[in-house]
Structure 1
Amino acid sequence: MSPASIAVLAVGMSVDALLASIGRGAASSRPRFTQALRTGAVFGIVEAITPLIGWAAGFAASQYVAAVDHWIAFVLLGIVGGRMLLHSMKPAAERNDAAQGNSLWALMATAIGTSIDAMAVGVSLAFLDVNIFVVALAIGFATFVMSTGGMMAGNLVGAKFGRWAERIGGLALIGLGTSILCSHLMAG
């Protein structure tokens, strides 16, 4: 796999994490750079690990992973997106408290939900002559950079558009989960 192909794959696998982190940044009232780094690190680490898991599963587990991956993504992204929608309807004081109270759980659930497709990519990479560790590191690094930047950009969007940006982010996550589910159900 060429370096350009790895870069395209890494950016493509990172887009859903970017959208989720923009929504998180919009939901937070002035997230600190350390929060953005934490968000980027969690998304990047999870996004780097999942293709390794998929690659390791290879031929043996691909039918089992493919059988449930779309449902896992659908449920996790639906829950997180729904929480974002509900959170956007609360008064400002409650929104800030809620964002801080459950942020690690929501961050992990979002990271796992947005990285399920990377596991499927990892399974497909098991059939190619690639260095999976280079690919996984590229995906993790791209996700880290894009998610950290997305969190900070979401803060700028949130300052002006606040609740609407969070609602759009929630709907985007629900839409992403629904799209993953529908594409798998229609294909098989």
Structure 2
Amino acid sequence: MTIFEIIIIAVGLAMDASAVCLSAAAAGYAKDGRAIFRLSFHFGLFQFLMPVLGWFLGIRFVFYFKAFDHWVAFFLLAFVGIRMIREGMDTSSEVQKNDPSRGMTMVMLSVATSIDALAVGLSFAMLDVNIWYPSIIIGVITAGMSFAAIKIGAGLGVLFGKRMEIFGGIVLVIVGSRILYTHLIS
């Protein structure tokens, strides 16, 4: 497998994480350096770890996981997205915001956006590709694209305010629906 092919795969895998980061930043969650680091780092880390996990699982378990992986991603992204939409529509100042750069929300988003990377790891095992080099590239590209998406999203949040939280939630539901749709039609 060439470096160009690995980069193309990495960019494709990073798109979901980048969309989530753009949405989170536009909704005003990634305001400080720590939140930016947490989002970029964790998305990159999970995109690195999941192909490795998939590779180690190998072809033995692919059929069991492939039957429901898209449903897991859809429900996790839809859950967080619907919560963001509700919070964006609530005009009271008492709303407790669920920061996607912290706790279980970040873990759910990291898993949901990296399930495809698990499948890539399974396919690398079938193709007898050494997993470490591609996984490092996938993780680094995802972290970089996530960081860039946060910076872009932060600018949008300043321009559009609370409406971006609603938009961000809609984007998460759309990303989850796209994952579900592409798996169901293939």
TM-score normalized by structure 2? 0.91
Between 23-32 and 42-51, report the one with greater CA deviation: 23-32
| RMSD of aligned residue pairs (Cα, Å) | 2.0
Unaligned runs of 5+ in 2: none
Residue in 1 that maps onto 2:163: 164
Cα-to-partner distance string for 1:107-166 (whole Å, 9 max, x where unaligned):
211111111111111111111242211111111111111112222221111001123322
Q: Equivalences for 1:102-113 in 2 at 5 Å?
A: 103-113=102-112
Structure-2 separation of matches of 1:149 and 1:101: 17
Moved over 3 A (4+): 91-95, 99-103
Higher percent of residues as helix: 1
Structure-2 separation of matches of 1:69 and 1:22: 24
The count of corresponding residues between Structure 1 and Structure 2 is 186
Residue in 2 that maps onto 1:60: 60
Structure-2 separation of matches of 1:58 and 1:29: 37
* Paired AA for residue 180 in structure 2: L
Q: Percent identity of the aligned residues?
A: 34
Structure-1 separation of matches of 2:25 and 2:12: 21
Residue in 2 that maps onto 1:119: 118
**Equivalent residues of 1:31, 1:152 under 8 A apart:** no
Q: Equivalences for 1:66-105 in 2 at 5 Å?
A: 66-91=66-91, 93-94=93-94, 97-100=96-99, 103-105=102-104
Structure-2 separation of matches of 1:29 and 1:121: 30
| Pairwise CA distance, 1:39 | 0.8
| Pairwise CA distance, 1:56 | 1.2
| Pairwise CA distance, 1:185 | 2.4
SS for the counterpart of 1:64 is helix
* Paired AA for residue 46 in structure 1: F
Structure-2 separation of matches of 1:101 and 1:41: 13
Residue in 1 that maps onto 2:34: 34
Unaligned runs of 5+ in 1: none
* Paired AA for residue 144 in structure 2: V
Cα-to-partner distance string for 1:35-84 (whole Å, 9 max, x where unaligned):
10111011111111111111111110000110110111111011011111
Between 99-108 and 124-133, report the one with greater CA deviation: 99-108
SS for the counterpart of 1:98 is coil
* Paired AA for residue 88 in structure 1: G
Structure-1 separation of matches of 2:122 and 2:101: 32
* Paired AA for residue 167 in structure 1: I
| Pairwise CA distance, 1:5 | 1.0
Cα-to-partner distance string for 1:6-40 (whole Å, 9 max, x where unaligned):
11111111011011001111122671122101110
- Over 3 Å counting, the alpha-carbon distance change for 1:49 and 1:102 in structure 2 is closer
**Equivalent residues of 1:39, 1:107 under 8 A apart:** yes
**Equivalent residues of 1:33, 1:152 under 8 A apart:** no
